[in-house]
Amino acid sequence: MNFVPCSILLIALVLPLASSAQSAASEASAAPPASAAAAPVIMAPGTTAPLTAASPQYVLRSGDVVQVKVYQEDDLTSVSRIGTDGTVSMPLLGSVKVISKTLEQANAIIRDLLAKDYLVNPQVSLNVTEFAKRRFTVLGQVQRPGTYDMPTDESVSLLQAIATAGGYTRIGNPRRITVQRTVDKANTLIKLDAEAMAADKKQKPFVVQPDDVIIVGEKWI
């Protein structure tokens, strides 16, 4: 009977194991770590999406920052904030009143002023680079009284404003709504019936204006 030396048997057993371990190590190093592959992209606190251009029908208001460009006239490019007097400042033209005008209307005003005395067929581009804060306040019998920001380029109806404040309290009276609004520097009170508005789907929504104060009254018990 022939005997195989112990040393040869040990080598024969160790070699396959070493080869298998080396192959497993190579595969592990080639594959990316599971945590790295699944790591989410986290935005820094306060990061927001880039500001998009306002629509041509956006109505300009005090505090908006407006950029004006004139094609092939780089020296006429201007960026200015609409002041409390409702004007922006431009080279050649000086102060131009644009408040309460849509972007489209303001663009036409500046184009016509340039065409009148300075340029032939000027091509004007108008855009808002920073929007003024637009807010409304809801007080009285709502769940979350307070001041709320309005969407940049969208209107807010009375019913939407009340919903934003959490809706009515148990004693809130939708038939007793008062809106305080400043018109031509004068304080105006508007009495409204939100219950009738909600019931009549054909009725034109009451549009909330920036700085409006909406007060929801109580039910008479």
Give a yes or no: residue 69 inside a domain: yes
Q: Does one domain contain both 71 and 123?
A: yes
Q: Does one domain contain both 124 and 147?
A: no
Boundary of a domain, candidates 94, 111, 130: 130
pLDDT in tens, 153-193: 688 999 999 999 999 999 999 999 999 998 877 899 999 99
Q: Does one domain contain both 99 and 165?
A: no
Give a yes or no: residue 9 inside a domain: no
Q: How many domains does the chain have?
A: 2
Q: Does one domain contain both 160 and 110?
A: no
Q: Which two tokens stand for residue 131?
A: 């929007």
Check: CB of residue 78 under 8 Å from CB of residue 88.
Answer: yes
| pLDDT at residue number 52 | 45
Give a yes or no: residue 13 inside a domain: no
Give a yes or no: residue 60 inside a domain: no
Q: Using alpha carbons, list the distances in angstroms from residue 22 to 11, 17, 19, 62, 105.
A: 16, 9, 5, 71, 74
Domain with residue 142: its CATH number is: 3.10.560.10
Domain with residue 93: its CATH number is: 3.30.1950.10
Domain residues for the domain of 89 are: 65-130
Cα 115 to Cα 118: distance, rounded to the nearest angstrom:
6
pLDDT in tens, 117-154: 899 999 999 999 988 888 999 999 999 999 999 887 68
Give this prediction's pTM.
0.54
